[in-house]
DNA sequence: TAAATAGTTCAAAAACCTTTGAACTATTTT
DNA sequence: AAAATAGTTCAAAGGTTTTTGAACTATTTA
């Protein structure tokens, strides 16, 4: 269980270390329907450029999964990543 | 359980989002005796100035507690912080 | 008392992250 | 076919974080 490089772990914590992204994560956790980037951006007052940047980081960290349908991109939380890198972090280091 | 500002949460994730600090945390988790900043710094090849900076951030995030004895500062992990802000993060947002 | 050791503080430099607006692609609606 | 909508990309600007060396305080050892 001893790490030597931690890069995925750091990518996840970096992705979580920002208020815009935490707001997005909360929004996704509390929503009961499939949501698009646009819906989240409007709800949280994030410009589309900035939203695009933050969704990309969340995706690269494995925190969200995305599905493109026509013009829209639907996003949802990937709970496996929380499990592996957040919830069990302390136990696993 | 709904957050509105998240500042402590972000301070914790920021503190965890760095490889030097993750190395320090691992070192503290795996050690069986009380350790000083100097011991950790030597073991991990961190300059004392840089060490001082990182220990300060970890302390401000509540991730370590410290005890000064004479010249030396002893550090240890504060598992309550992991409990509150890391292990239970996903459940609590 | 002088030298060594443990740590802190400061300012500068370097590296990294976030926001912005403009220009763009692709799809849908009128 | 033109206009509208959803999202991306780019470069520039601004902000934040990290590393560095020098100078510092406080304590201990020779």
Sign (positive or negative) of CA dihedral B29, B34, B36, B42: negative
Taking the C-alpha atoms of residue A56 and residue A61, their distance in angstroms, rounded to an integer, is 9
Q: What is the pLDDT of residue A55?
A: 98
State which fold the B7-92 domain adopts. Arc Repressor Mutant, subunit A (1.10.10)
Q: What is the pLDDT of residue B62?
A: 98
Per-residue pLDDT, averaged over A14-40, amounts to: 97
Domain parsing of chain B, residue ranges = 7-92
pLDDT at A1 over 50: no
On chain A, the residues whose CB falls within 8 A of the CB of B2 are 26, 30
State which fold the A7-81 domain adopts. Arc Repressor Mutant, subunit A (1.10.10)
Per-residue pLDDT, averaged over B74-79, amounts to: 98
Q: H or E segment at A17?
A: none
Taking the C-alpha atoms of residue B47 and residue B41, their distance in angstroms, rounded to an integer, is 7
Structure tokens at B4: 């509105």
Taking the C-alpha atoms of residue B64 and residue A91, their distance in angstroms, rounded to an integer, is 16
Residue in A with minimal Cα distance to B25: A93
Whether A22 sits inside 8 A of B29 (CB atoms) is: no
């Amino acid at each position: 269980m001893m790490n030597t490089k931690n890069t995925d772990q750091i990518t996840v914590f970096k992705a979580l270390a920002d208020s815009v992204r935490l707001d997005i994560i909360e929004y996704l956790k509390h929503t009961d329907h499939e949501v698009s980037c646009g819906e989240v951006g409007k709800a949280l007052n994030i410009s589309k450029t900035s939203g695009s940047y933050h969704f990309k980081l969340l995706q690269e960290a494995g925190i969200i999964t995305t599905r493109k349908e026509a013009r829209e991109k639907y996003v949802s939380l990937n709970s496996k990543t929380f499990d592996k890198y957040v919830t069990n972090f302390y136990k696993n280091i």
